[in-house]
């Protein structure tokens, strides 16, 4: 006997078992765990019952936690035992089995994960043989068996579940009629146009419909098996199998018997504790959180995570609700909906609609106050996850409104794909170009390992784990493979596993509460790990430095290697050195020194970079200090989240086309803003005429000289996905170029999230906002520019002023034994 706390769980479904998985990850030994499940199976993936019914997967394939998992984790599992009573005073649960035997288990903490029950229409004949709900493996098996013996099936209910059932039965050779009381199919997820398109498409596959039909009774044959459905209008449809799929109800029978407060589910707090008895928790479809009982898996997993956190006595997690999206699991039919896809009639919402009935494509986007609030897509759902992200983020879409309908690939955030629809890609197509991960490998990992979130896919396959440009595609594959219940549920994204706080919240806290050290941040925001991790520490370090210049001290151990050693690490552990060449201009003297250094330190490769500088590759770490000293040129920050190059053309000093002295302008900008750390790397370019030889259109700030002054373009990017910079303003003098550029940079430095490039920052806050802050507000602009100058004033060159730049020089020497 142990004296561990006793945790009992009623129910053995997806939400509950996921909670246990999370709990065991956090604290494997805190509890003796006992699970009661009414079904004879271990935890399986209920979402995938439809593919099983349709014959596309087998029952074995959808088991999530085999029996071994329970024994390996020392969980006592009682399958085929239904908990019938709970004594809350003595804290004991009593369960019975089919033979009427009784089993009891004491608890210190109790989780109710009783799921939901299908709602059966109260019509005569509902108890006849051949009348089923569609909820579990037994129902699915009964439907598969019926399909081998009988011809006619009726599915009552034209919602998500009903259509999936009808599709499965049809695939198994039955003649299927769907009876739906509503005017169109899936009215909770689709508007009328999309619902009608769906109906037409299903009709083409042979499904029959009785729309707006009210079921009066189910009629029996002479053996007591259902034979037909009778409608209110007196007509009949033959049916040897009737599946009721008119909705589910949270299963609260046990909770009510225990006198727990129930209202549309077992009412729980943000920590998933029942409001009646804090020893008792409810999670999953049976729980009502802030009035909502969720039926999709992603929110339920989110709940499970919070509950596990609480059970592990960490006490930090809070569940604050989820947004959900829907996708139908009928092979070959693409539909997606999320949010308020109907819009409202009172004129407060606007709709953008694209309809091509011939191609079977329909898209509706609902906009309210410049934000996307709903989306309903039929036939082409490739942008579903992107719309869902916009919806969740609640960012203004005013600046991309005219392009919104044409999807993310038109905006340019998806990386190298966009046209390639996840579903139609062959298995051997490469999804993640960084890590060479093919679609087949991702699908296999999702199925075999039971992955449900982007993070899990990243961890297990490395897809989208490096540059992130294939994230949209991976999300689509996830949606497509894991089924419609995938949704990227949290409304805000935590920086990392060390905290529940988002980048914005951490930024705000550091600014508002003047948190000057990492420890102050960890303490104030109740970090879960004492020293953070490789994701949050560099971010916090940057937020402190950018919010409190001259006061917050740099912590070199919170910087990744390149910024700690002030050089770029290469694959063999050597480094590259790129000295600064103002505006890309150099001299014979500098070139001679570079050449001498290359000889003296046996540097294997010398390369001209895309940013008009010279890269020395293969420098040993112990040589770095001397290489810097011998070259005698300023640090190029080519390794840092900082201002890198200012690329220029030769301009009016030499060029016969030149209208402005772009080289001088570039040098001035670079001299004013070098040593400027930023959320991510920053690149400028200055061209002397509209021929734009310096390629200013793909830089964070691009300046183009014209006869009457300078045009300024911002938020371009030549990297992962080419982003053309947008025209920002035209100014007359070079002083104005300096002021506007500096102001934009400071705005980005103060508000950007760590690792967010200018293009992503501007996309997030909206170009209108940036214009308002810099173009419309002269005093604000000047203040921003002044703050940047203050921050940069006297900043050290890390290649020469080691003490001032907090460079730990011990790193350059090895200890010898």
Span near other proteins by CB under 8 A; candidates 84-92, 130-138, 484-492, 564-572 = 564-572
H/E segment holding residue 295:
none
What is the residue-wise DSSP string for 30-84? SEEEEEEESSSS--B-GGGHHHHHTTSS-TGGGBSS-HHHHHHTTEEEEET-EEE
- Residue 470 CB, nearest approach to other proteins (Å): 17
Distance CA(760)–CA(774), nearest Å, equals 18
> Is residue 658 within 8 Å of 643, Cβ to Cβ?
no
Q: Least distance in Å: CB of 716 to other proteins?
A: 28
Least separation, in Å, of the C-beta of 453 and other proteins? 14
| Category of 706 on φ-ψ map: left (φ > 0), alpha (ψ -120 to 50) or beta | beta
Does residue number 89 form part of the binding site for other proteins (CB under 8 A)? no
With CB under 8 A as the contact rule, the residue among 538, 679, 697, 742 that binds other proteins is 538
Residue 22 or 668 having the CB closest to other proteins: 22
Q: How far is the CB of 624 from other proteins (least distance, A)?
A: 12
Q: Is 815 in the site for other proteins (CB under 8 A)?
A: yes
Residue 804 structure tokens: 């001032």
DSSP label at residue 753: P
**By CB under 8 A, which span of 10-18, 120-128, 254-262, 803-811 interacts with other proteins?**
803-811
**Partners of 368 in the beta sheet?**
371
What's the CA gap between 439 and 430, in Å, rounded?
Answer: 6
Closest CA to 288 of 249, 238, 333: 249
What are the tokens at 811? 């790193």
Are 85 and 257 spatial neighbours (Cβ–Cβ below 8 Å)?
yes
- Of the candidate residues 339, 532, 666, 752, the single one contacting other proteins (CB under 8 A): 532
Question: Which of 222, 358, 530, 803 touches other proteins (CB under 8 A)?
Answer: 530
DSSP string, 324-335: -EEE---TT--E
Residue 529 binding other proteins, by CB under 8 A: yes
- The CB-of-518 to other proteins minimum distance in angstroms stands at 10
Q: Which of 571, 589, 707, 779 binds other proteins (CB under 8 A)?
A: 571
Pick the closer one to other proteins by CB: 568 or 763. Answer: 568
Exactly one of 5, 121, 352, 533 binds other proteins (CB under 8 A); that residue is 533
Inter-residue contact 407 to 413 (CB < 8 Å):
no
Please say whether the beta carbons of 146 and 241 come within 8 A: yes
Pick from 60, 573, 656, 707 the residue near other proteins by CB under 8 A. Answer: 573
Identify which range of 180-188, 481-489, 531-539, 750-758 contacts other proteins by CB under 8 A.
Answer: 531-539
Positions 249 through 278 that interact with other proteins (CB under 8 A): none
DSSP β-bridge partners for residue 296? none
Nearest to 755 by CA among 584, 487, 542, 549: 542
| Shortest CB 530 distance to other proteins, Å | 6
Which of the residues 421 through 480 are near other proteins (CB under 8 A)? 459-460, 465
Nearer to other proteins, 1 or 814 (CB): 814
- Residue by residue, DSSP assigns 304-325 as HHHHHHHHTT-----------E
For other proteins, the closer of residues 523 and 531 by Cβ is 531
Contact stretch for other proteins (CB under 8 A) within 34-42, 271-279, 403-411, 561-569:
561-569
**Stretch of residues binding other proteins (CB under 8 A), selected from 214-222, 523-531, 717-725, 764-772:** 523-531
Element spanning 182, H or E: none
Applying CB under 8 A, which of residues 30, 63, 569, 720 lies at the interface with other proteins? 569
Q: Which is nearer to other proteins, 561 or 591 (CB)?
A: 561
Q: Which of 145, 256, 427, 808 binds other proteins (CB under 8 A)?
A: 808
Q: Which of 67, 354, 561, 591 binds other proteins (CB under 8 A)?
A: 561
3-state secondary structure 588-607: HHHHHHHHHHHHHCCCCEEE
Stretch that binds other proteins, among 54-62, 206-214, 550-558, 689-697 (CB under 8 A): 550-558
**Does residue 487 interact with other proteins by CB under 8 A?**
no
Residue from 345, 346, 402, 572 binding other proteins (CB under 8 A): 572
Nearer to other proteins, 7 or 536 (CB): 536
Cβ-based nearer residue to other proteins, 619 or 770: 619
Least Å from the CB of residue 285 to other proteins:
30
Of residues 333-392, those binding other proteins (CB under 8 A):
none
537 interacts with other proteins by CB under 8 A: yes
**Rounded to 5 degrees, what are φ and ψ at 645?**
-110, 160
Cα atoms in the Cβ-side hemisphere of radius 13 Å centred on 718: 16
Instruction: Say which residues have a Cβ less than 8 Å from residue 738's Cβ, sequence separation at least 6.
Output: 668, 669, 672, 785
Are the C-beta atoms of residues 634 and 673 closer than 8 Å to each other? no
Q: Which is nearer to other proteins, 351 or 456 (CB)?
A: 456
User: Of 217-225, 682-690, 754-762, 809-817, which segment contacts other proteins by CB under 8 A?
Assistant: 809-817
Which residues are within 8 A (CB) of 391 and not within 5 positions of it... i.e. 6 or more apart? 323, 338, 339, 371, 372, 373, 374, 375
CB 739 within 8 A of CB 668: no
For other proteins (CB under 8 A), the number of binding residues is: 30
- Report d(CA 247, CA 160) in Å as an integer: 9
**CA 540 to mean position of chain CA atoms:** 21
Task: Select 90 or 571, whichever has its Cβ closest to other proteins.
Answer: 571
Span from 37-45, 401-409, 524-532, 698-706 in contact with other proteins (CB under 8 A): 524-532
For position 803 contacting other proteins by CB under 8 A, the verdict is no
588 vs 817 by CB, closer to other proteins: 817
The alpha carbon dihedral of 64, 67, 70, 73 has a sign of: negative
What's the closest the beta carbon of residue 456 comes to other proteins, in angstroms?
Answer: 9
CB 645 within 8 A of CB 611: yes
* 544 makes contact with other proteins (CB under 8 A): no
53/624 with CB nearer other proteins: 624
Q: Which residues bind other proteins (CB under 8 A)?
A: 459-460, 465, 529-534, 537-538, 556-561, 564-565, 569, 571-573, 808, 810-811, 814-817
């Amino acid at each position: 006997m142990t004296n561990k706390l006793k945790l009992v769980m009623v129910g053995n479904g997806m939400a509950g078992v996921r909670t246990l998985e999370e709990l065991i990850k956090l604290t494997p030994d805190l509890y003796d765990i006992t699970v009661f499940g009414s079904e004879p199976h271990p935890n399986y993936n209920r979402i995938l019952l439809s593919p099983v019914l349709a014959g596309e997967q087998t029952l074995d394939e959808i088991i999530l936690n085999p029996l071994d998992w329970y024994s390996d984790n020392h969980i006592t599992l009682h399958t085929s035992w239904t908990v019938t009573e709970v004594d809350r005073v003595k804290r004991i649960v009593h369960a019975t089995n089919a033979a009427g035997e009784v089993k009891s288990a004491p608890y210190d903490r109790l989780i109710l994960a009783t799921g939901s029950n299908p709602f059966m229409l109260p019509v005569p004949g509902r108890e006849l043989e051949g009348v089923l709900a569609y909820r579990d493996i037994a129902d699915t098996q009964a439907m598969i068996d019926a399909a081998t013996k009988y011809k006619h099936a009726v599915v009552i209910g034209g919602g998500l579940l009903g259509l999936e059932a009808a599709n499965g039965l049809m695939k198994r050779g039955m003649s299927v009629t769907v009876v739906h009381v509503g005017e169109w199919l899936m009215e909770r997820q689709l508007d009328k146009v999309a619902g009608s398109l769906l109906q037409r498409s299903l009709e083409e596959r042979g499904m029959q419909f009785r729309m707006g039909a009210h079921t009066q009774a189910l009629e029996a044959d002479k053996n007591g098996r259902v034979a037909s459905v009778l409608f209110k209008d007196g007509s009949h449809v033959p049916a040897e199998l009737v599946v009721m799929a008119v909705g589910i109800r949270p299963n609260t029978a046990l909770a009510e018997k225990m006198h727990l407060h129930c209202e549309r589910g077992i009412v729980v707090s943000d920590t998933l504790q029942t409001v009646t008895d804090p020893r008792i928790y409810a999670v999953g479809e049976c729980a009502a959180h802030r009035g909502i009982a969720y039926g999709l898996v992603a929110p339920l997993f989110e709940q499970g995570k919070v509950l596990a956190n609480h059970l592990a006595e960490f006490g930090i997690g809070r569940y604050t609700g989820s947004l959900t999206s829907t996708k139908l699991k009928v092979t070959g039919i693409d539909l997606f909906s999320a949010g308020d896809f109907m819009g409202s009639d009172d004129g407060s919402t606007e709709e953008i609609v694209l309809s091509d009935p011939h191609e079977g494509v329909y898209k509706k986007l609902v906009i309210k106050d410049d934000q996307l609030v709903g989306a309903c897509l039929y036939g082409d759902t490739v942008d579903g996850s992107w719309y869902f992200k916009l919806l969740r983020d609640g960012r203004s879409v005013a600046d991309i409104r005219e392009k919104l309908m044409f999807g993310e690939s038109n905006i340019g955030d998806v990386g190298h794909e966009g046209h390639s629809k996840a579903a139609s890609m062959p298995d051997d197509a490469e999804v993640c170009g960084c890590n060479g991960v093919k679609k087949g490998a991702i699908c296999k990992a999702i199925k075999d390992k039971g992955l449900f979130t982007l993070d899990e896919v990243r961890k297990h396959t490395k897809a989208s784990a490096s540059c992130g440009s294939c994230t949209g595609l991976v999300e689509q594959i996830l949606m497509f493979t894991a089924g419609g219940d995938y949704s990227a549920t949290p409304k805000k994204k935590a920086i990392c596993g060390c905290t529940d706080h988002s980048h914005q919240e951490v930024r705000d806290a550091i600014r508002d509460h003047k948190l000057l050290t990492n420890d102050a941040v960890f303490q104030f925001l109740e970090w879960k790990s004492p020293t953070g991790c490789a994701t949050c520490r560099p971010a916090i370090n940057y937020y402190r430095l950018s919010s409190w210049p001259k006061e917050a001290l740099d912590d070199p151990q919170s910087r990744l290697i390149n910024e700690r050693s002030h050089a770029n690490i290469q694959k063999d552990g050597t480094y590259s050195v790129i000295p600064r060449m103002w505006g890309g201009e150099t001299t014979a003297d500098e070139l001679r020194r570079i050449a001498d250094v290359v000889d003296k330190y046996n540097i294997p490769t010398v390369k001209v970079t895309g940013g008009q500088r010279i890269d020395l590759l293969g420098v040993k770490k112990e040589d770095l200090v001397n290489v810097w000293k011998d070259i005698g040129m300023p640090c190029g920050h080519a390794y840092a989240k900082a201002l890198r190059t200012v690329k220029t053309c030769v301009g009016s000093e030499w060029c016969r086309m030149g209208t402005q002295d772009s080289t001088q302008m570039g040098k001035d900008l670079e001299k004013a803003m070098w040593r400027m750390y930023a959320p991510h790397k920053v690149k400028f370019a200055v061209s002397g005429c509209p021929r734009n030889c310096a390629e200013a259109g793909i830089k964070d700030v691009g300046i183009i000289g014209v006869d009457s002054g300078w045009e300024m373009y911002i938020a371009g990017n030549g990297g992962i996905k080419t982003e053309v910079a947008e025209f920002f303003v035209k100014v007359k003098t070079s002083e104005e170029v300096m002021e506007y550029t500096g102001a934009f940079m400071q705005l980005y430095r103060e508000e950007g999230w760590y690792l967010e490039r200018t293009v992503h920052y501007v996309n997030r806050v909206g170009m209108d906002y940036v214009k308002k802050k810099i173009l419309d507000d002269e005093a604000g602009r000047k203040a921003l520019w002044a703050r940047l100058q203050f921050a940069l004033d006297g900043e050290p060159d890390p290649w020469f002023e080691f003490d001032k730049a907090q460079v730990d020089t011990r790193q350059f020497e090895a200890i010898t034994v």
